[in-house]
Each structure stands twice: as C-alpha cells, then as structure tokens.
Amino acid sequence: MLTVGIIGYGSIGRDVSNYIVTDRAGNVELQAILVRDRKQIASHLPAPLFEDQADRFFARGFDIVVEAAGHNAVKQFAERSLRGGSDFIAVSVGAFADRELYEKTLKIAAETGKRLIIPSASIGGLDRIAAAAVGTIEHVTLTSKKPPRAWYGTIVEQRIDLEQVTEPVCVFEGPARESALLFPESINVSAALSLAGIGFDKTSVRVFIDPTVSKNTHHISASGSFGEIQLELSNIPSANPKTGYITAMSIAKVLKNLSTPLMIGL
C-alpha cells in the first residue's frame, strides 16, 4: 500500500481525499492533508489527518505527495517533496511555464530517483500527444471556453465586465507559455498539453469567455507524422467553477495506476 499526502483542501483536495478514503483510488492510504489553518477546516475526515505545519507534514515520509493548492504550492513544495523521497503529482502544472522551475524540478527528480507526475486533469488525449511526440508533431492548438462565472477572481474580471458579456469573447490568443502565466488558475490544461507535446512556445492557445456554454470546454487539434487528432472535451465544473470534477478523478486514476497491477492510458 502506498502512502499519500495532499497539499490543499479546496474542491480538488476534498474530492481526491474522498476517492482515497472510499477505496476508489487504488491501494493507497491517505496519511495527511496540509492546510493553512487546521482549526478552520470543517470535514467528515478525522481531525488528525489535517496538518498546518509543513515540517510535521513532510516528516511523515509519504510515497506520493499530491499538490492541489495552486502554483505557489508547486514552487514551494515540489523540491521538498522530491528530496524527501516522495513522488510529486502536480495539479497546478501551469507553474512549469516558468522554465527555470521546470528544469530545476526535473533535475532534482533525476537526482533523487523520484518522479514528477503530470495528471491529465481537465484535459484528455495526452497519451496520444505524448506518443506522437516520439515522432514529429507539426502543430498543436488548444481552444478553451468557459462561462463567465469561471472567470471571477481572475485577471479577466479586471479587464472585462463579466455580467455584460452576451456573446463569446476571445481574451487571449498566443503561445501556451504566456497563457499559463496569465491565467494560473484556469489554463493548466495548456501547460499539460505543452509538456506532453511540442512545448510551451510552439503550442497555440485561444481562450474565450463564452456565455453560451455551461461547462468548461476544450478543443485540441494536432497533426504530424502520426496522423491527426481532433478532440472535444466538456467538463462539468466542480464547487470551484475554474476546474471540473474530472480533475480529481484524474488524480485518483493516477494513484490507482501507481498502486495496482493494471496500468491503463500511460
């Protein structure tokens, strides 16, 4: 049985925790959840699981650490997890648009013999894109559309009156590296797609506020020596409208792959 620690207890952290304790994430044991203030946490889970001191959290020595707390958590804890002997599952993969952080993290993973793991999260087709990258990929384009409510609390809200949007509005068009840095909570999908394929600077991204959709939608288009892929995804938002329920499900699938004899979709 693999031991797991989770960083963050927002919508993703709560759902991943629930999948683990209800035996839907493979042969793994949830040992601790790192939060800002354990006294402020209301949960059906046992209180001793929650920890608000990083030193005590990491002293438990997990096999796997799951980051579910945002880009700053990746920057703060990826190295510490790897050096502490844990594989590190990064949900907020957009943090690796920072080239220096990405290269440093990979180097530490190689030095320690541990793994940086990027789940599919809100996107699909990464297995095919990653396989195609063994050959030649000519282009990869991602078009993401989210309803106005998904953009509250982001830089988009500062630029556009979301209540007045009545038709689709393109708020970004350019390389994935720039989109991941501009929209850290909303476009982690572009970062995952970039790492699987042709990189942050060659992957093209278009981002829309779209009042005509009720779900977070992503369209992937790619072609190369492997052929073509056209993939349309539609994710039901979780309690946090910036992300979908499928994100936590994806992490549960990774944990199952790592802890059971059968591995699917790698």
Torsion of CA 54, 58, 62, 63, to 10 degrees: 100
| Residue of 234, 263, 213 whose CA lies nearest to 123 | 234
- From the list 44, 71, 139, 218, the catalytic residue is 218
As beta bridge partners, residue 216 has: 235
218 catalytic residue (yes or no)? yes
Q: Report, in angstroms and rounded to the nearest whole number, the Rg of the chain calculated over CA atoms.
A: 18
Report CA 216 to chain centroid distance, whole Å. Answer: 14
Q: Per this entry, what is the length of the chain?
A: 266
Listed in sequence order, the residues at least 6 apart from 104 whose beta carbon sits closer than 8 Å to its beta carbon are 79
Neighbours of 159 (CB within 10 A): 10
Q: Is 257 annotated as a binding residue?
A: no
What is the distance between the alpha carbons of residues 52 and 36, in angstroms, rounded to a whole number? 5
Number of H helices, E strands in the chain: 9, 11
Residue ranges of the annotated binding site for NAD(+) are 188
Residues marked as catalytic: 218
Residue ranges of the annotated binding site are 188
